[in-house]
Chain A
Amino acid sequence: MSASLGAVGVGFRRRGVPVTVVVCLVVLAAAFLAVVLGPVLYPEATKQDILSSLMPAGSPGHPLGTDELGRDILALTVAGAASALVGPVCVAVGSMLLGILLGTLAGYERGPLDFVISRWTDLLLALPVLLAAIVVSGVFGGGYWTTVALLVLLFSPSDIRIVRAGVLEQSARPYIEAAQMLSLSRWRVMFRHILPNVSSLVITNAMLNVAFALVAFSSLSFLGVGVPPGTADWGRQLTDSRSIMFDNPAAVIVPAVLIIAVACAVNLVGDWLGQRLTRSGGLS
């Protein structure tokens, strides 16, 4: 899951923030506002009102129209941002923390612990994330946070590998030898001395993981697993509105475009951040 997108900034100004990144940051800021303000602005977004069922976009009081159940598409979409975006961020942060812990232990301690952790990542990497998530959360049920925990587990191998490789490379350096000669505790060496030097790799990978988790999460809710029916969530909204996609196109087009836009924005910002951090000498 760590496919970075290559040199996005090639040809742009070297200093300052490229225009694309500014646009992406605006998209992300808007998404963040929707997450925070959604529940305040539209506390009753999922309330059904059969009287106003299937109104077209541009109807009075319903700028994007309503779905079959009479739910306002604009309210549903704004309120759905929280469910669609909070989970993926938690997945990226969770798998980053798990990756830092296990990757550092494996890379610094080596030996049997490294062997066990590495075989564990091999096993998880042999599974396609989406397939494993569909099967496990479909068969074992479980709600939103179970899905988050599952995705943390499935996303962690890329973090573990990246941290482990970084730690292995740093461990051989003189400053680590110096720290060891000062008989600093191994935890102090691992997390105070090595970790800061691999942090730029970790942060870049976490950003990219947000984008992949967003795709995985919305895919799961599109397939009907992960998010319970009736929840305001972009992926869920797309499944629910499939049957009315030609009656009120806005019900499908708006959330679909939003998912694509946010995922692209996260990816581009992550890439740019990665290049910035690499160039600023965070790692060799």
Chain B
Amino acid sequence: MLAVRVLGTVAILFVLSIVVFSMLHLAPGDLVKTLLGTRPASPEAVAAIREQYHLDDPLPVQYLRWLGGVLTGDFGQSIRLQTSVADAIGSRLGLTLALCGLAFVAAIGSGIPLGVQSAVRAGGVLDRIGTALGVIGLSAPTFAVGLLLLYVFAYYLPIFPVYGGGRGPLDTLYHLILPAITLAAGLGAIVLKLTRTAMLRELDADYVTSARARGIPEGRVRRLALRNAAIPIVTGASLLLTFLVGGTVLAETTYALPGLGTLLQDSVLFKDLAVVQALTLLVALVIAVIALLADLAYLLLDPRVRAKGGTA
């Protein structure tokens, strides 16, 4: 039932929040020193830190206080950037969303048509090219693809800028094209594979044979099959998201884009734990919500599941 599914998601997020909270206390080295960052460790500063983070309270109390802050959008202070974590994330969120959005559109726009065509003419030239591209897209690490694209389209053929986020909306968009293509290579490969497999199965079904036998035009038959193939494609969305999370970090690092991925990498290397905690929770939340939405979409797309009362 849907309620059970929602409860399960909440339970997983709860356990993860405990893990993320403990990270602060489990990290090697002295906690106070980590929180002080580059400031000198005078007794007053140490006392101030202990006071500020309530380090003398019992751990469950500390956890509840931290969770209360998180739920109201207060993730604490970034010791590296000297701003609130919420501000640090807010100022970089736009770029990452734009990058992921562009990559997503490119991946869907290329993966689905290519997947359908591959399935329609399975074993043909296009299918073999598609399969080969799919293997490369799935196997090649994002940063390796990114670096090679940089050579081709920014160095040997100087069409795109080498790195940076650009100024102003249009310039940013221009700077995002190559990173988005890099991300879309992996994403598109997953979409292509999901589409091809689902379409192959649908085109083999009895209703397709019967539709063809009744003389329904091939284009309409394919649209019919694609509608049914949409279910496994949509439920594969979590696969896309998992790829996108890691891929964004790598693509942003490769192209030196000031987004959430580079924020995560810099914060991890600097041991700016408040930022790392916030980003980890944020990603976990987004993934959990998208997985739930994918299940809901499954209900909407498949009348059979709806009729049974939804045991997604």
Question: B268 contacts A264, CB within 8 Å?
Answer: no
- For B276, the closest partner residue in chain A by CB is A135
A253 partner residues in chain B, CB cutoff 8 A:
147-148, 151
In the bound complex, CA of A30 to CA of B288 (Å): 42
In the bound complex, CA of A211 to CA of B140 (Å): 9
- For B280, the closest partner residue in chain A by CB is A135
B138 partner residues in chain A, CB cutoff 8 A:
3, 5, 267
Q: Which of B23, B147, B193, B273 contacts A6 (CB under 8 A)?
A: B193
Q: Which of B8, B151, B242 contacts A129 (CB under 8 A)?
A: B242
A42 to chain B, nearest CB (A): 22
B88 partner residues in chain A, CB cutoff 8 A:
none
B89-97, B121-129, B225-233 - the one binding chain A = B121-129
Q: Does B142 contact A (CB under 8 A)?
A: yes
Q: Which of A11, A130, A219, A246 contacts B128 (CB under 8 A)?
A: A11
Give chain A's interface residue range (CB within 8 Å of chain B): 35 or more
Instruction: Tell whether A245 pairs with B150 under 8 Å between CB atoms, given A5-B134, A6-B193.
Output: yes
In the bound complex, CA of A245 to CA of B152 (Å): 12
Question: B155 contacts A246, CB within 8 Å?
Answer: yes
In the bound complex, CA of A155 to CA of B246 (Å): 15
Q: Does B12 contact A (CB under 8 A)?
A: yes
Q: Which of B12, B136, B249, B287 contacts A130 (CB under 8 A)?
A: B249
Question: A5 contacts B135, CB within 8 Å?
Answer: yes
In the bound complex, CA of A222 to CA of B143 (Å): 8
A49 to chain B, nearest CB (A): 25
Q: Does B15 contact A (CB under 8 A)?
A: yes
A255 to chain B, nearest CB (A): 8
Within 8 A of A (CB), among B13-70: 15-16, 23, 26-28
Question: A267 contacts B139, CB within 8 Å?
Answer: yes
Contact bitstring B95-121, A, C-beta under 8 A = 1, else 0: 000000000000000000000000000
In the bound complex, CA of A216 to CA of B141 (Å): 8
B119 to chain A, nearest CB (A): 10
A19 partner residues in chain B, CB cutoff 8 A:
none
Give chain B's interface residue range (CB within 8 Å of chain A): 35 or more
Q: Does B190 contact A (CB under 8 A)?
A: yes
Within 8 A of B (CB), among A1-42: 3, 5-8, 10-11
In the bound complex, CA of A10 to CA of B136 (Å): 17
- For B143, the closest partner residue in chain A by CB is A222
A119-127, A176-184, A198-206 - the one binding chain B = A119-127
Instruction: Tell whether A5 pairs with B193 under 8 Å between CB atoms, given A10-B122, A10-B127, A123-B16.
Output: yes
B141 partner residues in chain A, CB cutoff 8 A:
215, 218-219, 222, 259-260, 263
Question: A127 contacts B193, CB within 8 Å?
Answer: no
B239 to chain A, nearest CB (A): 6
Contact bitstring A256-284, B, C-beta under 8 A = 1, else 0: 11011001101110000000000000000
Instruction: Tell whether A122 pairs with B12 under 8 Å between CB atoms, given A128-B287, A134-B264, A259-B141.
Output: yes
In the bound complex, CA of A279 to CA of B122 (Å): 20
B47 to chain A, nearest CB (A): 25
Q: Does A51 contact B (CB under 8 A)?
A: no
Q: Does A223 contact B (CB under 8 A)?
A: yes
Question: A260 contacts B139, CB within 8 Å?
Answer: yes
Question: A252 contacts B147, CB within 8 Å?
Answer: yes
Question: A126 contacts B250, CB within 8 Å?
Answer: no
Q: Which of A131, A242, A257 contacts B249 (CB under 8 A)?
A: A131
Q: Which of B127, B147, B197, B269 contacts A238 (CB under 8 A)?
A: B147
- For A131, the closest partner residue in chain B by CB is B245
Q: Which of A8, A11, A128, A245 contacts B245 (CB under 8 A)?
A: A128
Q: Which of A127, A128, A215, A256 contacts B139 (CB under 8 A)?
A: A215
Enumerate 22 A-B pairs (CB-CB under 8 Å) in ascending A order: A5-B134, A6-B193, A7-B122, A10-B131, A127-B16, A130-B246, A131-B245, A131-B249, A131-B264, A134-B265, A135-B268, A139-B271, A140-B27, A140-B28, A211-B139, A215-B141, A219-B141, A225-B269, A249-B151, A264-B135, A267-B135, A267-B139
Q: A131-B264, A135-B268, A242-B147 are in contact. List 12 more A-B contacts (CB 8 A).
A: A5-B135, A6-B131, A7-B122, A10-B127, A126-B16, A128-B241, A128-B242, A131-B283, A138-B276, A140-B27, A215-B141, A263-B139
